[in-house]
């Protein structure tokens, strides 16, 4: 069936202040949705820090390690946003649900793929040279979180579908519900309230799972509303070869890029920083809680940009797609640079929220200086990478991210830590900052070169618009 014969519903293009409102209306709930996982981790880390430094350090290390594995699936599922947005932009609303269905199948398949890692991964912490007490806590936290990864995967598929079909308010409400339940569950399970025994770090892991589960259920409930599911074909969940091929072809490079980035940072925290001892890892964990507060909302803006770029490409307006990407970058840069200024000026007070240990506070405050410098280029990378993903340009960005991140942030930083230990944690963080700067410049240049405008995605095809034109 050709595009011309399918039922379409026309969409309007906001201009002027309405364009800004469109961006912020979609971005606000998206930012909240992406920030929800961050807020959950921040709350859990703060509560665990009341019990000492080992617990939050273990949760930070294991949580990031677990998410690095889940992130491959999450990164792939972000392309549900791309594919549904372009279908939505073409006005083919009934066909949007087909991509959600493939996302659901992919979520279950990937959750099964993760099962063996629950058994083998804890040994990695011993290999990194962590102290026995820390290893025991890390292993426990990782097993609990990873065993329930399917909640995060399904929640991602449904939330990206809601964003792509212009339902950001539903994502916002789901996020608020998940974070609220997580906070109460963490308070009860970590410290032992509401008639529940205190479970410490295990309680933090279960509280996070409960929060993610509630967020997933809320997203599913919004999608299954009668009028919504009929309009967008949301119950069309049967396996479809063409749509699954689109998801895999475009999504796997995005998933590789996501896991390459997150896993590299996980190794940076657990392997590179391990060379400087538990105090350095604790400081790094606390500093990362603030960094994540900065870059996870930026990922929310990136998801909004992905939706808008995909939508306007679907409407045949790459010029509007470019404008929305630039607008998203301006908003994100203002936020992240403001965070950087706060990191620099309030570095001692910010680390003091989590610890009173003088050594931890000294190292953490120094790290926040590097985090402050990192912010602008991270904003460039995150937003324009989201724009490229909305156009279906995922392979080259994935390769660039993997090569640069692993070459500089992991192996380069580890080499500095081993051969120049006198530089302290400033050595590896210098390498990480150089990586962020180079990657940001590369992604910016790739987007503005405009090659993405020649990509055409429709029903499993990936051809240039020039080729389509030449055949008509």
Instruction: Compute the distance between CA of residue 376 and CA of residue 340 in angstroms, rounded to an integer.
Output: 8
Residue 6 lies in a domain: no
Q: What is the mean pLDDT of residues 389-396?
A: 87
With a cut of 90, say whether residue 3 has pLDDT above it. no
Instruction: Compute the distance between CA of residue 246 and CA of residue 324 in angstroms, rounded to an integer.
Output: 24
Looking at per-residue pLDDT, the higher value among 66 and 366 belongs to 366
pLDDT band at 14 (very low <50, low <70, confident <90, very high): low
Residue 329 CA: distances (Å) to CA of 102, 116, 189, 415, 444: 30, 39, 40, 34, 10
Instruction: Compute the distance between CA of residue 214 and CA of residue 220 in angstroms, rounded to an integer.
Output: 10
What confidence tens digit (pLDDT) does each residue in 305-349 have? 988 888 888 888 889 999 999 999 998 999 999 999 999 999 999
Residue 343 lies in a domain: yes
pLDDT band at 413 (very low <50, low <70, confident <90, very high): very high
With a cut of 50, say whether residue 5 has pLDDT above it. no
With a cut of 70, say whether residue 353 has pLDDT above it. yes
What confidence tens digit (pLDDT) does each residue in 194-246 have? 888 888 888 988 998 999 999 999 999 999 999 998 999 888 888 888 888 88
Residue 295 lies in a domain: yes
Helix, strand or coil, per DSSP, at residue 256: helix
pLDDT band at 388 (very low <50, low <70, confident <90, very high): very high
> ∠ CA 31-390-328 to the nearest 5 degrees?
45
Share of the chain above pLDDT 70, in %: 90
With a cut of 70, say whether residue 71 has pLDDT above it. yes
Instruction: Look at residue 158 in the predicted model and tell me its pLDDT.
Output: 94
With a cut of 50, say whether residue 7 has pLDDT above it. no
Instruction: Look at residue 464 in the predicted model and tell me its pLDDT.
Output: 37
Residue 466 lies in a domain: no
- The residues, any chain, with a CB within 8 Å of residue 56's CB and separated by 6 or more, are 44, 45, 46, 48, 49, 282, 285, 286, 354
Q: What is the mean pLDDT of the chain?
A: 84
Instruction: Look at residue 142 in the predicted model and tell me its pLDDT.
Output: 87
Instruction: Look at residue 472 in the predicted model and tell me its pLDDT.
Output: 32
State the total domains in the chain. Answer: 1
Residue 467 lies in a domain: no
Instruction: Look at residue 218 in the predicted model and tell me its pLDDT.
Output: 94
- Concatenate the DSSP letters of all residues of 401-428 into one string: HHHHIIIIIIIIHHHHHHH-GGGTTHHH
With a cut of 80, say whether residue 398 has pLDDT above it. yes
What confidence tens digit (pLDDT) does each residue in 422-435 have? 999 999 999 999 99
Looking at per-residue pLDDT, the higher value among 92 and 459 belongs to 92
Residue 470 lies in a domain: no
Q: What is the mean pLDDT of residues 422-450?
A: 93
Residue 321 lies in a domain: yes
Instruction: Look at residue 105 in the predicted model and tell me its pLDDT.
Output: 94
Residue 222 lies in a domain: yes
What confidence tens digit (pLDDT) does each residue in 261-279 have? 888 888 888 889 888 888 8
Give bridge partners of residue 456 from the DSSP assignment. 463
Residue-range definition of the domain harbouring residue 190: 18-460
With a cut of 80, say whether residue 363 has pLDDT above it. yes
Looking at per-residue pLDDT, the higher value among 82 and 468 belongs to 82
Instruction: Compute the distance between CA of residue 411 and CA of residue 422 in angstroms, rounded to an integer.
Output: 18
- Return the number of other C-beta atoms located less than 10 Å from residue 349's C-beta: 11
Q: Which residue has the tokens 């060379």?
A: 275
Instruction: Look at residue 418 in the predicted model and tell me its pLDDT.
Output: 92
Helix, strand or coil, per DSSP, at residue 461: strand
What confidence tens digit (pLDDT) does each residue in 23-50 have? 777 777 667 666 666 677 677 777 888 7
Instruction: Look at residue 468 in the predicted model and tell me its pLDDT.
Output: 33
Contact 200, 54 (CB under 8 A): no
pLDDT band at 69 (very low <50, low <70, confident <90, very high): confident
């Amino acid at each position: 069936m050709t595009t011309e014969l399918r039922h379409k519903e026309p969409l309007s293009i906001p201009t002027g202040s309405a364009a800004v409102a469109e961006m912020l209306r979609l971005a606000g709930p998206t930012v909240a949705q992406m920030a929800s996982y961050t807020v959950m981790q921040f709350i859990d880390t703060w509560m665990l820090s009341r019990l000492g430094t080992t617990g939050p350090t273990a949760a930070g290390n294991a949580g990031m390690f677990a998410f690095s594995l889940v992130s491959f699936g999450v990164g792939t599922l972000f392309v549900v946003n791309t594919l549904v947005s372009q279908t939505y932009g073409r006005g083919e609303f009934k066909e949007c649900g087909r991509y959600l269905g493939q996302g659901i199948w992919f979520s279950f398949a990937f959750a099964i793929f993760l099962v063996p890692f629950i058994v083998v991964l804890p040994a990695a912490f011993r290999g990194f040279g962590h102290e026995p007490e820390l290893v025991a806590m890390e292993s426990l936290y990782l097993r609990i979180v990873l065993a329930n990864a399917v909640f995060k995967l399904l929640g991602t598929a449904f939330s990206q579908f809601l964003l792509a079909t212009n339902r950001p308010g539903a994502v916002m409400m789901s996020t608020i519900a998940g974070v609220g339940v997580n906070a109460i569950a963490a308070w009860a399970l970590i410290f032992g309230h509401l008639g529940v025994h205190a479970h410490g770090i295990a309680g933090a892991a279960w509280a996070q799972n409960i929060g993610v589960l509630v967020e997933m259920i809320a997203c599913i409930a919004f999608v299954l509303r009668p009028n919504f599911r009929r309009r967008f074909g949301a119950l069309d969940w049967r396996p479809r070869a063409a749509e699954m091929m689109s998801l895999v072809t475009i999504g796997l490079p995005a998933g590789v890029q996501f896991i390459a980035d997150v896993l590299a940072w996980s190794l940076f925290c657990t392997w590179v920083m391990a060379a400087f001892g538990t105090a350095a890892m604790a400081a790094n964990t606390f500093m990362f809680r603030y960094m994540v507060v900065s870059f996870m909302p930026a990922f929310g803006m990136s998801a909004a940009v992905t939706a808008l770029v995909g939508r306007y490409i679907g409407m045949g307006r790459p010029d509007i797609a470019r404008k929305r990407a630039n607008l998203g970058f301006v908003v994100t840069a203002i936020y992240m640079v403001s965070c950087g200024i706060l990191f620099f000026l309030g570095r001692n007070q910010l680390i003091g929220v989590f610890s009173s240990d003088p050594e931890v506070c000294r190292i953490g405050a120094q790290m926040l200086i590097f985090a402050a410098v990192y912010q602008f280029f991270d904003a460039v990378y995150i937003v324009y990478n989201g724009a490229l993903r909305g156009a279906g340009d995922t392979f080259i960005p994935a390769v660039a991210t993997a090569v640069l991140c692993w070459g500089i942030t992991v192996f380069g930083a580890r080499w500095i830590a081993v051969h120049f230990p006198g530089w302290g944690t400033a050595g590896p963080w210098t390498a990480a900052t150089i990586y962020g700067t180079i990657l940001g410049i590369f992604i910016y240049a790739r987007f503005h070169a405009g090659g993405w405008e020649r990509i055409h995605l429709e029903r499993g095809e990936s051809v240039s618009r020039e080729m389509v034109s030449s055949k008509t």
